[in-house]
């Protein structure tokens, strides 16, 4: 490979904190806020101009159920519940009827609410700031170097949380990461106006069949599409229908290509609606994401890798830091559609326009667990003395990832990483030595339901 030599340089320290979180989705924000509420000084670095990650930059506006599969006992609380309550006070969340699509968020209001959480907790924000390289001293991460409008600056901290989704921090430190094989494809979501009128004018119209209909020259390659009303509107939908197969978005060139291919597919969807269904009604493209929605790239290699069967059988861990019910949901790259596997033993392969293929992943029994659990050790990277991961970086197998990747679960990993960093700070210990019982109790004291 052709290379150039850069001159060596010294870098000014912009800020010193107890804990520094890299990546400002809800996962990262919740990590920072939980740590700050326990008295730590905290900084957060986000490459965009606002917080929220896939929920805001990616336009994905659905949070799943906070209750068990019987829709009775609440199993997720903490900052997820608090944020829903805050959005509710702004008339910025709608409550769904299906347990799998429980909350439709106004993601523009979410951006402002996350600012408020950061400000009220006195977290030092760095926006438009990209983590570029770590500074490791005597085998321990001492600082992160960021590039922002002011140039290249260092943020020193005692503990760090990698909430970048792609594991930029752990990867560049040299901690072990891995891919789980067939990467779940990225999707450029969009907001389309005029869909309510199209539904009225075309009885039986199904968006998730229309865009893949091979009779239309603009048709997308058969994949999967779902859509949700934008909170407060009955004519505008957030549409997740594009799919860029086999794109590894942790690779800069593949990310660039995926962004442009995603937008090309969005244009094709709008053209299908305009050319074949609008019947004089107007269809408008109202929003494209500022960052393509990345389902999956690297995973951290941690002290525990969560197995699909641990989740689906409701295994209880001594270090459980989160609970969930969202089913295993694997978007295929190698074939159309997606596969669901449920706690009750059923499974389904769903492809638009075809009847679902239903079966069971286990025989019928009375042993259906009401929810699943995931452990702290799946956030503790092998060899990472003062670094934790949170969010979709979690160590797990492919099936478990199909469930754990949703935001209500990622949010809990962020809260756990924030609380654990403070406990490690108090004990001057490695993140692996955090006492599980104390972690769980401190999380409960801060509102988590464990």
Ligand X SMILES: Cc1cc2nc3c(=O)[nH]c(=O)nc-3n(C[C@H](O)[C@H](O)[C@H](O)COP(=O)(O)OP(=O)(O)OC[C@H]3O[C@@H](n4cnc5c(N)ncnc54)[C@H](O)[C@@H]3O)c2cc1C
Residues at the contact surface with ligand X, assessed by CB under 6 A: 22-25, 27, 45-48, 53-54, 58, 60, 62-64, 130-131, 163-166, 168, 187, 189, 240, 293-295, 391-392, 405-408, 410
Using CA of residue 252, residue 254, residue 255, residue 260, what is the dihedral sign? positive
3-state secondary structure 370-386: CCEEEEHHHHCECCCCC
β-pair type (62-63, 103-105): antiparallel
Give the residue with the Cβ less far from ligand X, 257 or 426: 257
Smallest Cα–Cα separation from 26: which of 432, 411, 370, 339? 411
Give the residue with the Cβ less far from ligand X, 38 or 406: 406
Give the nearest distance from C-beta 288 to ligand X in angstroms: 13
User: 358: part of which helix (H) or strand (E)?
Assistant: strand 357-360
Give the residue with the Cβ less far from ligand X, 109 or 329: 329
Give the residue with the Cβ less far from ligand X, 408 or 425: 408
Query: In the structure encoding, which two tokens stand for residue 248, read together?
Result: 């590894």
Give the nearest distance from C-beta 186 to ligand X in angstroms: 6
Using CA of residue 255, residue 257, residue 258, residue 264, what is the dihedral sign? positive
Give the residue with the Cβ less far from ligand X, 131 or 277: 131
Give the nearest distance from C-beta 282 to ligand X in angstroms: 26
Give the residue with the Cβ less far from ligand X, 128 or 362: 128
Give the nearest distance from C-beta 226 to ligand X in angstroms: 8
Beta bridge partners of 75: none
Give the nearest distance from C-beta 34 to ligand X in angstroms: 14
Using CA of residue 357, residue 361, residue 366, residue 369, what is the dihedral sign? negative
SS3 338: strand
* 333 touches 184 (CB < 8 A): yes
**Nearest position to ligand X, beta carbon:** 391
Q: Which residues contact 211 (CB under 8 A, 6 or more apart)?
A: 219, 220, 225, 241, 268, 269, 272
Give the nearest distance from C-beta 189 to ligand X in angstroms: 5
Give the residue with the Cβ less far from ligand X, 93 or 408: 408
Beta bridge partners of 17: 157
Give the nearest distance from C-beta 410 to ligand X in angstroms: 4
């Amino acid at each position: 490979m052709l290379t150039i030599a850069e001159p060596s340089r010294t870098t000014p320290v912009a800020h010193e904190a107890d804990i520094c979180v890299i990546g400002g989705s809800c996962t990262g924000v919740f990590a920072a806020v939980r740590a700050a509420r326990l008295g730590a000084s905290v900084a957060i670095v986000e490459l965009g101009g606002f917080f929220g990650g896939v929920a805001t930059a990616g336009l994905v506006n659905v949070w799943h159920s906070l209750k068990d599969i019987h829709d009775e006992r609440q199993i997720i609380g903490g900052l997820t519940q608090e944020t829903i309550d805050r959005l509710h006070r702004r008339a910025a969340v709608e409550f769904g009827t299906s347990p799998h699509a429980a909350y439709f968020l106004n993601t523009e209001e979410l951006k402002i609410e996350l600012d408020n959480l950061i400000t009220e907790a006195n977290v030092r924000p760095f926006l438009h700031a990209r983590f570029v390289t770590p500074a490791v001293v005597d085998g321990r991460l001492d600082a992160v170097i960021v590039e922002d409008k002011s140039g290249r600056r260092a943020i020193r901290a005692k503990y760090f949380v990698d909430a970048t989704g792609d594991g930029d921090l752990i990867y560049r430190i040299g901690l072990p990461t891995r891919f789980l094989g067939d990467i779940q494809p990225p999707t450029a979501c969009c907001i389309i106006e005029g869909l309510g009128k199209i539904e009225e004018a075309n009885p039986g119209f199904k968006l998730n069949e229309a865009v893949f209909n091979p009779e239309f020259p603009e048709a997308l390659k058969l994949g999967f599409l779902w859509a949700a009303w934008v909170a407060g509107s009955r004519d505008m939908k957030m549409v997740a229908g594009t799919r860029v197969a086999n794109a590894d978005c942790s690779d800069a060139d593949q990310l660039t290509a995926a962004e442009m291919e995603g937008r090309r597919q969005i244009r094709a969807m709008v053209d299908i609606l305009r050319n074949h269904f609008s019947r004089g009604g107007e269809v408008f493209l109202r929003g494209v994401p500022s960052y393509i929605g990345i389902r999956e790239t690297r995973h951290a290699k941690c002290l525990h890798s969560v197995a699909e069967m641990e989740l689906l059988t409701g295994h209880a861990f001594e270090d459980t830091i989160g609970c969930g019910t969202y089913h295993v949901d694997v978007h295929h790259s190698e074939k159309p559609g997606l596969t669901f596997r449920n706690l009750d033993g059923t499974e389904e392969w769903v492809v638009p326009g075809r009847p679902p293929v239903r079966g069971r992943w286990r025989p019928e029994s009375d042993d259906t667990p009401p929810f699943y659990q995931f452990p702290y050790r799946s956030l503790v990277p092998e060899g990472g003395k003062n670094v934790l991961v949170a969010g979709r970086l979690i160590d797990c197998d492919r099936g478990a990832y199909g469930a754990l990747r949703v935001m209500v679960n990622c949010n809990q990993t962020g809260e756990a990483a924030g609380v654990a960093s403070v406990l490690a700070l108090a004990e001057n210990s490695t993140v692996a030595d955090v006492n599980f019982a104390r972690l769980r109790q401190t999380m409960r004291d801060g509102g988590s339901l464990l």
